[in-house]
Amino acid sequence: MVLLCCGACRKMYDHKGKTPLVEVDGNFLYKEDLMSVLPIGLSKDDSVLFAEQYIRSWTEDILLYEKAKDNIPDNVDVDKLVENYRKALIVHTYQQELISQQLASDISEQEILDYYDKNRELFKLEHPLMKGLFIKVPLTAPQLNNVRRWYKTEERSAVERIEKYSLQNAVKYEYFYDKWVSVTDVLDMLPLKVEDPEKYLEKHRQLELKDTAFYYFLNVSDYRLAGEEKPYAFARSEVKDLLINQKRVGFMEQVKNDLYQRAIKRKEVIYNY
């Protein structure tokens, strides 16, 4: 039976200061619990809709549980199943922590790099990457002709000049000649209106754009398409995870054997046969 809670409910049950909203056969959904899962920023109408759906889902879950509890086969030992699951969950959590603390730290940078070098074909880009330099300045900024020269070259002298210039004049300045960045992140900084902006940047390595307030200068020094090999910096964590998974079984077998040998030595294991 589902009841909307009233004053009588609070006399029969100790709600520990919480405000009951719905009762299903002695199970209560409280206002405080509902408010804790209510997404921030919803309109009044959306909040009402979310609350109604959440209450309906909560009610159905309780009813299904009560029905299942009364109708499971007599030969099913739920307590034993729960205890087995609890043990498996504890062991799994411990294994994950052990692997994270010990196995992961045992994998050297050289080992990761060697595996990457031998298996580059396994690591492909899902999205294009690029290296380069970007600067955004107001239309009224001084020395724009110098900027047009400086941004097109990776020469240290030109980069130093554009860095000094940016401190006083640039609205945004990004130097990424020395690292790969997502093309999508770069496109977010540009007022580029073409049908295929990623392909456009692949073919147009030096770009000057303007809108009603700013000039945008971009020099693309390197570019990698989706489907090409991932640079090491982008593949590193994936490579390390692969190495961890390869060593996981042997590592845990060694851990269990060490525990067993230690227990035997301490006479903590007693065989009665």
What are the mean pLDDT values of the chain's consecutive 10-residue runs (273 residues total)? Answer: 51 77 89 91 91 94 90 84 94 90 89 95 94 96 96 95 96 96 93 88 92 96 93 93 91 91 90 84
pLDDT, position 12: 63
The answer to whether the CB of 62 falls within 8 A of the CB of 25 is yes
The neighbour count for residue 175, using CB atoms within 10 Å, is 15
pLDDT, position 75: 76
pLDDT, position 69: 85
Domain borders along the chain are 2-71, 74-124+230-273, 126-224
pLDDT, position 10: 46
Phi and psi, residue 189, nearest 5°: -95, -5
What residue has token string 């007599």?
A: 74
d(CA 162, CA 168): 10
Closest CA to 173 of 108, 218, 123: 218
pLDDT, position 102: 87
